[in-house]
A and B are shown apart, each in its own frame.
Chain A
Amino acid sequence: MTAPPLLRVEELSVRFRLREMVVRAVTDVSFELRPGRLLALVGESGCGKSVLASTVLGLLPGNAEIRGSVRLYGNSARGGASSPSSASGPPDGLELLTASERTLARHVRGRRIALVPQSAATALTPVRTARSQLVETLRELRPDIGDRHREADRLAGRVGLEPAALDRYPHELSGGMAQRVVLALALAADPDVIIADEPTSGLDRPLVERTVDTLRELAGDGRAVLLITHDIAAAERVATDLAVMYASRIVEQGPASEVFDDPWHPYTRGLLEATPARGFRPLPGHPPSLSALPPGCAFRPRCSQRDTCTGDPALVPVAPGRALSCARLPEEGRGARGPLTGSEPIGERSC
């Protein structure tokens, strides 16, 4: 049966108050991260993906206003010695949006939920070797580990780095190596939930595949993974579920293979067709300004179907496991399909 979620995001909205404007970075976003599953989040640059990740970890700046709920639950699927804190916890979960900074710092960030931040490679401390940063992180998050250097080597191997590469300084690492160091740092405390924000940008195909395959293995071991990526091929390769974001909202959501095979939202279609391999055609027009969104569907000004549309943007279920925010629901999407479960863990999938 479907495992209960590790993280449940409900009706989440984030606004930034900036001088005389309000930026709507996240609007009414809901999703769940379940053990054994990898949710890929794709969408236009600036649509709110990184803000969403920061919200979950309590890392937003002071001018942010947050509504909704983000709950973290214990992991019955894993538990065990590796993550003593995860099996316990209140049954209705820990509300992260109201949790104290102390709770987040001591029990959540890095320990239960790890973030691989975007452009993380540029955030490594320049004056210390990768090894010293990794050992330091282990000292803080895993005081139980005796031989930290061996553990560092093991983590390096897990992300596809030679242990010797750990002895370099950040400026001596190529972009790809630095990115893998950052992933190793995120894995240090063996978190239940991994949020990776563009962990493969700029890497070549073999390294992209290796990195996302690692994430998928981590999910396969009973963790939940949120992969934020611009790399459609990478998402297609490893995602079990897909969410497509446009102008602060999730506009389409469902089992990854379903959405990739048969995208319904005009934005999803446009995004998939813009890849170099599939035509390299940009969407018409400019990305919208999140401080001046039009009422109704924000994609409408750029939508090929706008002339025949009423523009209601609510995200509604349109078939088992699939949701869509488009006033022109595709006719074939309404009930014509067989039931989709879309929630069995990776290990049980037949692909």
Chain B
Amino acid sequence: MLSVTNLTAGYRRDHDVLTRISITLTPGRIVGVQGPSGCGKSTLIRVLALLHPPRSGDLRLDGETVRRFRYAAPAAQRRRVGVVFQHPRAAADPRHTLRRIVSAHLPAGAPGTETDRLAELVGLTPDLLDRRPHEVSDGQLQRACLARTLGADPRYLLCDEMTAMLDASSAAALVHLIKAQVEHHGRGALMVSHDSALLDACCDETVQWHDLGGPPAAPTGR
């Protein structure tokens, strides 16, 4: 299980983005979290992915309490949690080819065919693999980012508005892929989105942001 209890987190010293949030991911299940833009969904993902240290709260990964974050987190823990971010441009090194991006988290010594298999899985045609990010579309880059994440064989998969860059058909294809990954590889997935129709179509259970235990959503400046 990947769970967090009473999580409080933020960026500025005088302002909490998340207050006393609790959520649990179980292998073999997809949990959806629905919330408005700017409510803090991405911050929750960053904490669960060990990328952002919380101010307080108890984060547990398969029975161990997580105490160190970012580069200080043990590699074995980091590998177990994979993330797909909303903006692939911000998540991919512009100097690398897609082949290198897709294979980034494959275990050392994995055969090159593994990269091809991952690319095929997410629907990237082979001709795209020799290109760099500026030579592919945003949606194609997002597919590469998903392939990279799956290459680490993560037990938990965190998807932050993963399909926002995709047309309806591609979004459906990738969400079906996530479902298959959860079923066949026993991964536990979290999908955060504002889109309730999307979450209803793929999650085993959907939670509303305000039911996670925090106060009403932080002001978004609407």
Q: Answer yes or no: do A and B interact.
A: yes
**B90:A122 contact, CB within 8 angstroms:** yes
Complex CA distance for A270 and B168, rounded to whole angstroms: 9
Minimum CB distance partner of A43 in chain B: B167
Q: Per-residue 0/1 for B156-182: is the Cβ within 8 Å of any A Cβ (1 yes, 0 no)?
A: 000001001111111111011000000
Cβ contact within 8 Å between B167 and A271? yes
Q: Which residues of A contact B168 (CB under 8 A)?
A: 230, 232, 271-272, 274-276
Interface residues of B in 125-166 (CB under 8 A from A): 125-128, 130-131, 134-140, 142-143, 161, 164-166
- Min CB distance, A276 to chain B, in Å? 4
| Nearest Cβ on chain A to B51's Cβ, whole angstroms | 14
CB-CB nearest in chain A for B130: A19
**A5 within 8 Å of B (CB atoms):** no
Residue of A46, A161, A177, A205 near B194 (CB, 8 A) is: A205
Which of B11, B125, B136, B169 is in CB contact (< 8 Å) with A44? B169
A16-B135 Cα distance, complex, nearest whole Å: 9
Return chain B residues, CB-CB under 8 Å to A175: 37-38, 42, 86-87, 161
Contact A45 B38 (CB under 8 A): no
Q: Is A198 an interface residue (CB 8 A)?
A: yes
Which of B37, B165, B200 gathers the greatest number of chain A CB atoms within 10 Å?
Answer: B37
Interface residue tally for chain A (C-beta within 8 Å): 55
Q: Residue of A at shortest CB range from B136?
A: A46
| Chain B residues whose C-beta falls within 8 Å of the C-beta of A207 in the assembled complex | 36-37, 222
The reply to whether A291 and B127 form a contact with Cβ atoms under 8 Å apart is: yes
C-alpha gap A287/B119 in the complex (Å): 13
B191-203 interface mask toward A, CB cutoff 8 Å, 1 = contact, 0 = none?
0001101101110
Contact A287 B170, beta carbon cutoff 8 Å: yes
Cα–Cα distance between A78 and B29 once the two chains are bound (Å): 56
Which B residues are in CB contact (< 8 Å) with A42?
Answer: 167
Residue of B nearest to A276 (CB): B197
Cβ distance A190 to chain B, nearest Cβ, rounded Å: 23
What's the minimum C-beta distance from B42 to chain A, rounded to whole angstroms? Answer: 7
Chain B neighbourhood of A275, CB < 8 A: 168, 197
CA distance A341 to B23 in the complex (A): 54
B131 to chain A, nearest CB (A): 7
Q: Which single residue of chain B is at the shortest CB-CB distance from A210?
A: B222
Which residues of the other chain, B, contact A46 by a CB distance below 8 angstroms? 136-137, 139-140
> Is A65's CB within 8 Å of the partner chain B?
no
Bound together, the chains give a CA A45 to CA B123 distance in angstroms of 11
Select one of A177, A272, A286, A288 contacting B220, CB under 8 A. Answer: A177
**A289 at interface, CB cutoff 8 A:** yes
Task: Give residues of chain A (228-256) contacting chain B, Cβ–Cβ below 8 Å.
Answer: 230, 232
Contact between chains at A198 and B170 (CB < 8 Å): no
With A45-B137, A45-B167 known to touch, is A204 a contact of B36 (CB < 8 Å)? yes
> Is A342 an interface position by the 8 A CB rule?
no
Is A119 touching B169 in the complex (CB atoms < 8 A)? no
Known: A61-B134, A172-B11, A277-B197. A230 touches B172 (CB 8 A): no
Choose from A202, A230, A276, A291 the contact partner of B201 (Cβ within 8 Å): A276
Task: Say yes or no: A281 contacts B172, CB within 8 Å.
Answer: yes
**Assembled-state Cα–Cα distance A283/B37 (Å):** 29
Q: Which of A40-75 contact B (CB under 8 A)?
A: 42-46, 49-50, 61
B residues whose Cβ falls under 8 Å from a Cβ of A: 11-12, 35-38, 42, 86-90, 123, 125-128, 130-131, 134-140, 142-143, 161, 164-173, 175-176, 194-195, 197-198, 200-202, 220-222
Name 30 interchain pairs, CB-CB below 8 A, sorted by A: A18-B131, A18-B135, A19-B130, A21-B127, A45-B142, A45-B167, A45-B170, A46-B140, A119-B87, A121-B87, A122-B87, A160-B222, A174-B221, A175-B42, A176-B38, A177-B38, A201-B86, A204-B195, A207-B222, A230-B164, A230-B165, A230-B167, A272-B168, A274-B171, A276-B172, A277-B197, A282-B173, A282-B176, A287-B123, A292-B127
The chain A residues found within 8 Å of chain B, CB to CB, are: 16, 18-19, 21, 42-46, 49-50, 61, 118-119, 121-122, 160-162, 164-165, 171-172, 174-177, 198, 201-207, 210, 230, 232, 270-272, 274-277, 280-283, 286-289, 291-292
